[in-house]
Amino acid sequence: MSDPTDPLALEEQVCFALSVAARSVVGVYRPLLEPMGLTHPQYLVMLALWQYAPLSVRRLSDLLQLDPGTLSPLVKRLETIGYLRRERDPADERSLAITLTAEGQALRGRAEQIPPAVVERLGLPIEDLRTLHAALTRVIAAAHP
């Protein structure tokens, strides 16, 4: 049992709860993404591209809050499996533009089934999930002054 008066009690740590929750939720996504050949980080890249493509690597990095060194292997793998292309940006030859292939665009139709499947598997009311999302968004903002 947790001791709420102990400032170092494991069960009382926000970081512990966030870490376990993140791993658990990603675990819910895993069997839904595997048939599409995607990992969860690759899915996040695809979500950004479905919404905003074409994107520069810098803009994608900013959207996902990932450094370019972490993002680069994700993009290369998605290009290898045929979901996206990296091309020189015609407006700025120094910059790479990431665009979806026809196969990457078509994958969106299958991916639209993922959010409702996740909600169903979590078994939480959608309003609770929206409240959680809003709280986590505030935590992210507070952690990035």
Q: What is the pTM of this model?
A: 0.91
Predicted pLDDT at 37: 95
Give me the residue spans of the domains in the chain: 10-118
Can you tell me the mean pLDDT for 51-61?
A: 93
Higher pLDDT, 5 or 119: 119
What CATH number should be reported for the domain whose range is 10-118? 1.10.10.10
Predicted pLDDT at 1: 64
Is residue 138's pLDDT more than 90? Answer: yes
Higher pLDDT, 115 or 91: 115
> In the 3-class helix/strand/coil scheme, how is the chain assigned residue by residue?
CCCCCCCCCHHHCHHHHHHHHHHHHHHHHHHHHHHHCCCHHHHHHHHHHHHHCCEEHHHHHHHHCCCHHHHHHHHHHHHHCCCEEEEEECCEEEEEEEEECHHHHHHHHHHCCHHHHHHHHHCCCHHHHHHHHHHHHHHHHHHCC
Q: Which of 4-13, 80-89, 91-100 has the lowest mean pLDDT?
A: 91-100
